[in-house]
C-alpha cells in the first residue's frame, strides 16, 4: 500500500508550464512526471502504464502552454475553479467535477479563467508499457 498526501509531499513551483504564462504549483502524489525533472517523484509506484498522478494549483489568469502528448494520454479532473481547455484547436469551459481526456497525439493547453485558484488532478499514462519511464 502507498499513501501520500499534501502534508508529506513537497510542492513545486513550475514556471511557465509547457511555455505557458505565470507559475503553477504541483504536488507529485504518485509516480514521476518526466516533464518536471526537478520535482521529486516515485517512478516505481505503478505496475500499470500510469506514469503519474499529481495535484496542480493554477492561479487566476495563469496558463499551461500548448503541448502534444506522444506515446501517452493524460486527463485533467477539476476539483474546484473554472478553466478553459483547448484540445486540437477546440476550446471548452471546465468546472468542478469535469474531466477531460487528451489522447495520444492530441495537443492541448489550459487556462484558469476564474477569479479564484483552480485545483485539479492530473494523471498521465503511457500508451504502451515500453513507453513508460
Contacts with 27 (C-beta within 8 Å, 6 or more apart), sequence order: 6, 9, 10, 11, 12, 54, 55
Flag whether pLDDT at 26 surpasses 80. yes
Q: Where are the domains of the chain?
A: 11-131
Least reliable range by pLDDT among 7-16, 19-28, 61-70, 89-98: 7-16
pLDDT, tens only, 55-112: 999 999 999 999 998 999 999 999 999 999 999 999 999 999 999 999 999 999 999 9
**Cα–Cα–Cα angle for 115, 22, 71, rounded to 5 degrees:** 105
Residue 129 above 70 pLDDT?
A: no
What is the CATH code of the structural domain delimited by 11-131?
A: 2.60.120.10
| pLDDT value at residue 92 | 97
Write down the pLDDT at residue 133: 52
Total-model pTM: 0.90
Amino acid at each position: 500500500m502507498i499513501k501520500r498526501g499534501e502534508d508529506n509531499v513537497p510542492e513545486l513551483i513550475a514556471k511557465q508550464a509547457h511555455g505557458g504564462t505565470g507559475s503553477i504549483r504541483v504536488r507529485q502524489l504518485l509516480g514521476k512526471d518526466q516533464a518536471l525533472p526537478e520535482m521529486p517523484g516515485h517512478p516505481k509506484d505503478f505496475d500499470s502504464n500510469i506514469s503519474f498522478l499529481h495535484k496542480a494549483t493554477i492561479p487566476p489568469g495563469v496558463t499551461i502552454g500548448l503541448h502534444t502528448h506522444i506515446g501517452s494520454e493524460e486527463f485533467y479532473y477539476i476539483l474546484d475553479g473554472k478553466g478553459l481547455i483547448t484540445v486540437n484547436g477546440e476550446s471548452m469551459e471546465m468546472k468542478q467535477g469535469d474531466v477531460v481526456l487528451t489522447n495520444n497525439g492530441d495537443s492541448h493547453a489550459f487556462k484558469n479563467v476564474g477569479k479564484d485558484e483552480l485545483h485539479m488532478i492530473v494523471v498521465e499514462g503511457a500508451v504502451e508499457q515500453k513507453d513508460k519511464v
